[in-house]
Chain A
Amino acid sequence: MSALSAVRNDPRRLELIGFALVAILIIIVLPLALDIFRLNLVGKYLTYAFVAIGLVLCWGHTGILSLGQGLFFGLGGYCMAAFLKLEASSVANTKIQSTPGIPDFMDWNQITALPFFWAPFKSLPFALIAVILVPTILAFIIGAALFKRRVGGVYFAIITQAMALVLTILIVGQQGYTGGINGITDLRTLLGWDIRTDGAKYILYFVCCVLLLGTMFVARFVLASKLGRILVATRDKEDRVRFSGYDVANYKIFVFCLASAMAGVGGAMFTLQVGFMSPSFVGIVPSIDMVIFCAVGGRNSIVGAVAGTLLVNWAKTMFSEAFPELWLFAMGGLFIAVVVAFPRGLAGVMTDQILPRLTSFKGFKGTGGSGAQPTPAPAE
């Protein structure tokens, strides 16, 4: 029992155990338990988890609520989609178009030459760099403009929401350049490798898992460093941080850019695994959905964010098949419940309620009560 309470009392070791459980779950358990169709769905959920982890950093720890993370998710996704679409629109594939060699939606909109800002995406290295850089640069601009002026809280949230709306309208309105409301679809190959086959989906799933675990460790590193403590201090006593000699705005900009870069990577993995990207993942509704994944899992816990994302999305799929009417009620209720009653989410329930009870009973076999993942280590 003493080993277990030692673990319970050391949050860093606990977190590492959580990481291990997540890794085991997504790399071993789920691939063995599920068919490729469902595993692909899990892969999709995991891409949302990238955004949720970013929110743990900027919202949970720094108090910056961004209601527009879909913006960065979408930008990363569209960068990847641009590359894949150009590859799929080779002259050979598009010979029936009036202008071969350009994406089909451009042809439908009477565009006769590839626009200049599309051309660089013919190169994979450029696209990969863009996936991270484009969201980061935009986040930097927004962050610098707002944080340097001490704009935060509700105002910041509304402006991020407005930016997500702006991008959505832009994408839908400029369908000749962006594929419009249907998005960029019919993606086929990545450097000649067909991404639509089952084998490819397995590989992409594992790539996603590895990237996600990498992101989790990056987040962990940041939060465990002195910078992480400054973020927490900023959330609670921003004035004092300033009076300790720190330029608070720079820290907020940093964490917001990091969160947006993570979201961008998630978006790119989404495009690869699901095979398309559309504005329905950019706007206000998906952005707030991603906040709820983070909130349900626990806005202060990296493991919680991943678990919350998997759980809520799995519930959504199950519910909306069986009881579509009930799902929105449940989702709305979940929002309210998490905010009013469980501000620290499932991770909070785990650490505050379940683990202490487990470690106080020797030999008590816990089952993880709330059904949340990861389940705690069983009592001896």
Chain B
Amino acid sequence: MFGYSLGELGSILVMQGFSGLILFSVYLLMALGLAIIFGQMGVINMAHGEFMILGAYMTYFCSHLFASYLPGLYAGYFFVAMIVAFIASGTAGLIVEWALIRRLYARPLDTLLATWGLSLIMQQAFRSGFGAREVGVELPPWMMGSLQVTDTIEVQINGLFVMGLTLLITAGVAVLMFKSRWGLQVRSVMANRTMAGAVGIDTRRVDRLTFGLGCGIAGIAGSAFTMIGSTGPTAGQLYIVDTFLVVVFGGAQSLLGTIASALTISQSQSTLEFFLTGSMAKVITLLIVIGILMLRPQGLFALKVRR
């Protein structure tokens, strides 16, 4: 077509599809945390990107810690970093829920503004703590480089890792939500808060843990994020609108919807990127999503439609 052979074109499509899958994984990881919080509590956390970056900074911190004190174990530092990221962001989330969010449950618009204020504070904290410049996180050697699948198809190892991680976490969340007792509590609060409270579920505690979990997942997303972008105080802002749209587009109440939504949006963007410039691909994807939302506000993949 454009001077490529059919075989080469096929390979390009596969690799393009593959990079789309990496984008999909990142979107999904970010959206999962937010979807849990929004679906459960109707709270839009504008600081979600910052919880993610907190996880990224923790990863950076771990990489330096291991490099300085435990060089022998450096290859495995990333797994430790992810756990640290989860705990750090999760704990921060618990504190934020206790200090701020729980005062604003009946006022979703005000929560939007308050969490934006929080994001400003967190950004400045990052700036003061880690410096205003972006930091690069060094990957352990085994994660760098790419795998030669066939003659013409090369896939990057870190991309595979991110996808595998996303799969694991999504499965983990699904199991948690649908098979665990705690997940049952979360779903009942989501369905009917008053009734759930009446049967003895501590809705406050469920909310707090949910928010913490959502932020914790954002932290892990941040770890994954270090592999595809550089970490800086304002990096969280880059993807926040995309994440919101993924969540809203997917119908906010369903895990499958979020997955489908993240897949659609990421694939649309990476496919368009092949034919147009990066910015136009983004613009058109966003406009399509917004357009569909205008026609179908409950999201494209909402499974239950009332009225």
Query: B-contacting residues of A (Cβ < 8 Å)?
Result: 63, 65, 67, 145-146, 149-151, 153-155, 157-159, 161-163, 165-166, 169-170, 172-174, 284-285, 288, 291-292, 295, 325, 328-329, 331-336, 338-340, 343
Contact = CB atoms under 8 A, between A and B. Distances in A.
Interface string B267-293: 000000000011110110011011001
Interface of B: 42, 44, 100, 103-104, 108-110, 112-114, 116-125, 127-128, 237, 241, 244-245, 248, 277-280, 282-283, 286-287, 289-290, 293-295, 297
By DSSP majority rule, is chain B's interface helix, strand, loop, or mixed?
helix
Contacts of A165: 241, 286
6 cross-chain pairs, A with B, having the tightest CB-CB distances, nearest first: A335-B117, A173-B279, A332-B120, A332-B121, A328-B124, A145-B294
Contacts of B244: 158, 161-162
Contact of B44 (A151, A154, A284, A333): A154
Contacts of B282: 169
A145 to B, nearest CB: 4
Given A159-B290, A162-B245, A333 B283 contact: no
A166 B114 contact: no
Contacts of B237: 284-285
A163 B291 CA distance: 11
A157 B103 contact: no
Contacts of B114: 335-336, 339-340
A163 B42 CA distance: 22
Contacts of A329: 120-121, 124-125
A336 B100 contact: yes
B243 to A, nearest CB: 10
A158 B245 contact: yes
22 contacts: A67-B112, A151-B293, A151-B297, A154-B109, A158-B44, A159-B293, A166-B290, A169-B283, A173-B279, A173-B280, A288-B116, A325-B124, A325-B128, A328-B120, A328-B124, A329-B124, A331-B117, A332-B121, A332-B124, A339-B104, A339-B113, A340-B104
A61 B13 CA distance: 52
B248 A155 contact: yes
A206 B271 CA distance: 52
Nearest to B285: A166
B281 to A, nearest CB: 10
A65 to B, nearest CB: 5
A162 B248 CA distance: 12
Nearest to B44: A154
A328 B245 CA distance: 27
B128 A155 contact: no
A65 B109 contact: yes
